[in-house]
Structure 1
Amino acid sequence: MKKRFVVVLLMLLALVAAACAGKTAAKRTLVEGDPYSDTQFLMGTVVTVKIYDKDKQGALDAAFARVQQLADELTVNQKGSEVDAVNKNAGIKPVHVTPSVYRVIAAAKHYSENSEGAFDLAIGPITSLWHIGFADARKPAQSEIDERLPLVHYPDVVLNAKKQTVYLKKKGMAIDLGGIAKGFITDEVVKTLKAKKVTTAIIDLGGNIYVMGKSPKNVKKDWNVGIQDPKKPRGTAIGTLPASNMTVVTSGIYERYLKVDGKIYMHLMNPKTGYPFDNNLMGVSIVTKKSVDGDALSTATFDKGLAGGMAYIEKLKYADAIFITKDKKVYVSSGLKDKFKLLKDSGYTLATLKK
């Protein structure tokens, strides 16, 4: 019999139904541990915030206002978006952006450098070509990919911290923050809730989970966080781990994909080839204190594959990872070996990398 997870598994079927209908789920009064909860469909994903502190229902409005504000600033090809303005001025002039937008772009540039291009914020020309996750998604011709691939070059993204400007050196370049924006926004929601004196909450931005404080059922214990099965709908776990004031960010090949002639192409793009990543990995969950780090690292580790991704994570003192391979094996980084628990009926097996 499967364990009932109080927090992260969130009864998403009901939430998705409400959100996809373009409606906001009803806010509820806190009674015997029942949270104030709100769900909205934003940025193409289901956003849920649950607050367990008494008399903090008003913090929900502040949290969603912050999500909407950042979504408007960061979304590509949206009227009024600062990122869209940066891309339209590629090869023309630097564009001044707000402090929040500058910070997320700076974080994306940092991880582009830190991962040696495994994560590349200048991937925009390729992601817009495939457009996986949208109605017009398609597999482009090799000639189209060859034409755009030289534009994917993060060193050509020039930042000026003093002037708060972003400049793309070549016409046709485009930054795409899809691999880091949800993480950044999650962290901003955490800051917003803390400013409202919220101490116990769950924030879920379509797979970017943040658990604040301790479990409301036992204030001395951590939350029990479910790790997503990459082959099944959101809310289906293969295992659990304890967490408090931590984030779990999961990327998987079945999250958003394009199927052509029986082959599945995932939404995460390889900056070196112009094609979606294609290796033995089926899913990666990053565990860290900041969701912006987890977002970028989940993409970078997919590029590096199981062995390279594990080696990369082990060098970082602030992050751990759970790797799930296509043969249904689960590998965990050293910091999680005594914490992660695989469900007996998950259909997966724990494995260890051979040295």
Structure 2
Amino acid sequence: MPMQLTNRRVHLMGTVIDVSIYHKQPEPLLDQVEALLNLYNKRFSANDDSSELMKINKAAGLHPVKIHPELFELISLGKWHSCQPGSHLNIAIGPLIQTWRIGFSDARLPFPEEITLLLDIINPNAIVLSEENQSVFLQEKGMKIDLGALAKGYIADRIADYLKAENVTSALINLGGNILTFGPALHNPDQKWRIGIQNPKETRNTNLLVLAIRDQSVVTSGIYERTFEIDGKTYHHIFDSQTGYPVSSDLASLTIISSLSVDGEIWTTRLFGPSLERIFQEVSSQPNLEAIIVDKDNHCFQTAGIYKIRLS
């Protein structure tokens, strides 16, 4: 009897998570995956007052906090990418996120003077890391790290590591639209997984195009995902650290195809905002990265490698 694809759905991290695996005894493995997802949520959440990350934020301006090696690894990676020239990723952006609250029921438009004050404390260079002590110190009071732009990718990679260690040979991990695949999709003739790219102008699950991938990750950032409207103006959730307001850009969405899911997360945020030319230039200069860019007029642009994996 052929193995069936078994799925487990979990509501966590403010999203819907689906993990699908091919295995003769899938349920105990999926139980363990669910336990890991809860553990990582407790470690990386910026919205749970008792998370490991929040211990760092509560000690801002006071003292360093020794943390779990995985949290240290993720913050180190995030700080490095946040400090690169022209990067739109900023893991120190927590105070801005918590003030605007876009995506939460209490979202609001802050006063300009509030935003001016916050710009002083969203500096990723003020995150002090001690490799030796595995500790993190936020130099200014009021600083807050927010790993929302890269944690899901990192978690997807760790879940894949766990499944591979348990001899799972095929899986699809979907953390709220952040997708990682490995091994053959045994239910498809070409054994590739089908991943739809959302049409930003249509309701969810209306695809602009479909990819056929294997052993790759697909991550999309879009201004349509979380928004807040006031006085007839719509604000999205991707912020510009220079202004304190949502990024001004012609982009509607940016999709990155990569080997590691965390890379897709990092680059969709890091590059959200610059000109199309700059995105193409950056993506082309990185190994194993491809991009699909959709502008506000719904024009779709893609790097050369996409044509090999595009179905429609």
| Structure 1 and Structure 2 fold alike (TM over 0.5) | yes
Q: Matches of 1:320 and 1:313 in 2, distance apart?
A: 6
Among the aligned pairs, what percent are the same residue?
A: 36
| Offset from partner CA, 1:49-70 (integer Å, 9 cap, x none) | 1112222332111111111101
Alpha-carbon offset, residue 305 of structure 1: 3.8
Does residue 175 of structure 2 align to residue 225 of structure 1?
no
- Selected match of 1:160 from 130, 134, 141: 130
Cα contact 1:117–1:271 (8 A) shared by 2: no
Determine whether 1:178 maps to 2:178. no
Match of 2:303 among 321, 333, 336: 333
Q: Any idea what the Cα deviations from partners look like across 1:44-88, whole Å, max 9, x if unmatched?
A: 100111112222332111111111101011111423211111111
Among 79, 84, 89, the alignment partner of 2:59 is 89
Write the letter of the residue equivalent to 2:19: V
The alpha-carbon distance between structure 1 residues 182 and 168, as it changes in their structure 2 partners (threshold 3 A), is: same
Question: Is contact 1:281-1:324 (8 Å) kept?
Answer: yes
1:219 Cα offset (Å): 7.1
Per the alignment, residue 117 of structure 2 pairs with 147
Gaps of 5+ in 1: 1-30, 343-355
- Measured in 1, the distance between the counterparts of 2:25 and 2:280 equals 43
Per-residue deviation at 1:157? 0.8
**Per the alignment, in what secondary structure is the counterpart of residue 40 of structure 1?**
strand
CA distance in 2, matches of 1:313, 1:126: 28
Equivalent position SS for 1:271 = coil
Report the number of matched residues.
312
Residue 42 of structure 2 aligns to a residue in which SS? helix
Separation in 2, partners of 1:208, 1:115: 26
TM-score by length of 1: 0.84
Deviation sequence 1:312-352 (CA, Å, 0-9, x none): 2111112111000011100111222333344xxxxxxxxxx
Q: Is the 8 A contact 2:228 2:234 kept in 1?
A: yes
Residues 139-186 of structure 1: per-residue CA shift (max 9 Å, x gap): 111111011011111111111111100111111111111101111111
What residue identity is the alignment partner of 2:66?
Answer: H
Moved more, 220-229 or 84-93: 220-229
Alignment of 1:13-28 (within 5 A): none
1:310 matched to 2:280? The reply is yes
Q: Secondary structure at the match of 2:92?
A: coil
**Counterpart amino acid of residue 217 in structure 2:** T
Name the counterpart of 1:270. Answer: 240
What secondary structure is seen at the aligned counterpart in 2 of 1:303? coil
Which consecutive residues of structure 2, in runs of 5 or more, have no partner in the other structure?
A: none
Deviation of residue 193 (structure 1)? 1.0
How large is the Cα RMSD of the aligned pairs? 1.7
Q: Is contact 1:321–1:332 with CA below 8 Å preserved after alignment?
A: yes
- Structure 1 Cα separation of the partners of residues 107 and 85 of structure 2: 28
Partner deviation per Cα, 1:279-299 (whole Å, 9 max, x = no partner): 110011110011111111111
Paired residue secondary structure (2:141): coil
